[in-house]
Copies of this chain bind each other. A is one copy, B any other.
Amino acid sequence: MNDSSLVKPRTRQRVLDAVQSLGYIPNKTARVFKSGRSHILGLVISTQHISELAFNAGFQSRFKALTEKAHSEGYNILIITSADAEGRSYFEVIKDQVADGFIILSPSVNEALTPLLEEAGIPYVYNMKYSNRPEDCYYVSSDDVEGGYIAAKYLLDLNHTEIRFIVGIVKGNFMPFNVDRIVGFKRALAEYGIAFREEMIVSVPGQMEESYTMFHHMFQTRRPTALLISNETTTVAALNYFHDHGIRVPQDVSVIGFGPSEFFRHLRPNLTNVSYDIAWSSNKQVDLLLQRIEGQPITPERPKKPELIIRDSTARNVQH
Report the Cα distance A28→B93, complex, angstroms: 12
Q: Do B120 and A28 touch (CB < 8 A)?
A: no
A262 to chain B: closest residue by CB: B54
Q: A32-B33, A79-B79, A98-B28 known; A54 and B51 CB under 8 Å?
A: no
Complex: how many Å from CA A53 to CA B95?
Answer: 30
Interface size on A, residues (CB 8 A): 47
Contact with B along A121-140 (1 / 0, CB 8 A): 00000000000000000000
Chain A at the B interface: mostly helix, strand, loop or mixed? helix
Closest residue of B by beta carbon distance from A268: B243
| Interface residue A173 (Cβ < 8 Å from any Cβ of B) | no
**A182-230 interface (Cβ within 8 A of B):** 208
When distances are taken between beta carbons in the complex, the residues of chain B under 8 Å from A50 are 63-64, 67-68
Copies in the complex: 2
Q: Tell me the chain A residues, 11-68 only, with Cβ under 8 Å from chain B.
A: 23, 25, 28-30, 32-33, 36, 38, 40, 50-51, 53-55, 57, 60-61, 63-64, 67-68
Q: Which residues of B contact A78 (CB under 8 A)?
A: 40, 76-79
Using known A-B contacts A40-B98, A53-B60, A63-B53, determine if residue A120 contacts B266 with beta carbons closer than 8 Å. Answer: no
Residues of B within 8 A of A55 (CB): 266
Q: Which residues of B contact A64 (CB under 8 A)?
A: 50-51, 53
- Could you jot down 29 A-B contacts, CB within 8 Å? A23-B120, A25-B95, A28-B95, A28-B96, A29-B33, A29-B36, A29-B38, A32-B32, A32-B98, A33-B33, A38-B98, A40-B78, A50-B64, A53-B64, A54-B60, A54-B61, A54-B260, A54-B262, A54-B263, A54-B266, A55-B266, A71-B81, A71-B83, A76-B78, A79-B79, A236-B266, A240-B268, A244-B268, A268-B268
Residue ranges of A at the interface with B (Cβ–Cβ < 8 Å): 23, 25, 28-30, 32-33, 36, 38, 40, 50-51, 53-55, 57, 60-61, 63-64, 67-68, 71, 76-81, 83, 95-98, 119-120, 208, 236, 239-240, 243-244, 260, 262-263, 266, 268
